[in-house]
A and B are shown apart, each in its own frame.
Chain A
Amino acid sequence: AQSVTQPDIHITVSEGASLELRCNYSYGATPYLFWYVQSPGQGLQLLLKYFSGDTLVQGIKGFEAEFKRSQSSFNLRKPSVHWSDAAEYFCAVGPNFGNEKLTFGTGTRLTIIP
């Protein structure tokens, strides 16, 4: 069965600092991997996704993520965070066929301090 682990429940960073959110997955075949962001009181929005090819993927809002098969990881990064990046971030894994039956991690809440 597929699963996702986000080891950091809550991260606090200063505005302008770099960010890395960790995600580890378990899946028997080549996974499809995603990062979603949830602003307070809102639904989730897709930041980026990895299906195949270049292991460094670019997303919206200046985010990027790197797929490392050897480490079963798909960490999200941003070189310089803005106060508007404060939100909850979810990593997800899905099968590479059929439907959008995604398995989500438990999320990492990001707080930005001035």
Chain B
Amino acid sequence: NAGVTQTPKFQVLKTGQSMTLQCAQDMNHEYMSWYRQDPGMGLRLIHYSVGAGITDQGEVPNGYNVSRSTTEDFPLRLLSAAPSQTSVYFCASSFGGYTGELFFGEGSRLTVL
């Protein structure tokens, strides 16, 4: 019972490099989202998706791209990493409709030098 799986768990990038954080869920959830967690700022929503082929921006979308080609996967792309994107990133999913229960991955810690 994998739940929400994020890879990689740790990553160090240089400024200007690109990378993709992977997120996969095996619960057939319609809703998926990406948050970043920074000290003293809680979790802030980056992008979310209410189903395959549908994505929308959250509170802090700049510098990030997403796509949702399948129900299971919701990758987060950093096209040109900046030190301000150093953070812990969490992927979360839920059944959709409205239950309020997000299921979180274990997080991906990204450092941009």
Contacts and interface: CB of A to CB of B under 8 A. Distances in A.
B104 interface: yes
Interface of A: 4, 6, 9, 32, 34, 36, 41-46, 49, 51, 90, 94, 96-107
Nearest to A43: B104
Given A99-B50, A105-B42, A106-B42, A49 B100 contact: yes
Interface bracket on B: 20 to 34
Interface in B82-111: 90, 92, 94, 96, 98-102, 104-107
A46 to B, nearest CB: 5
A93 B13 CA distance: 33
Contacts of A94: 98, 100
B106 A100 contact: no
B105 A107 contact: no
B101 A46 contact: yes
A100 B100 contact: yes
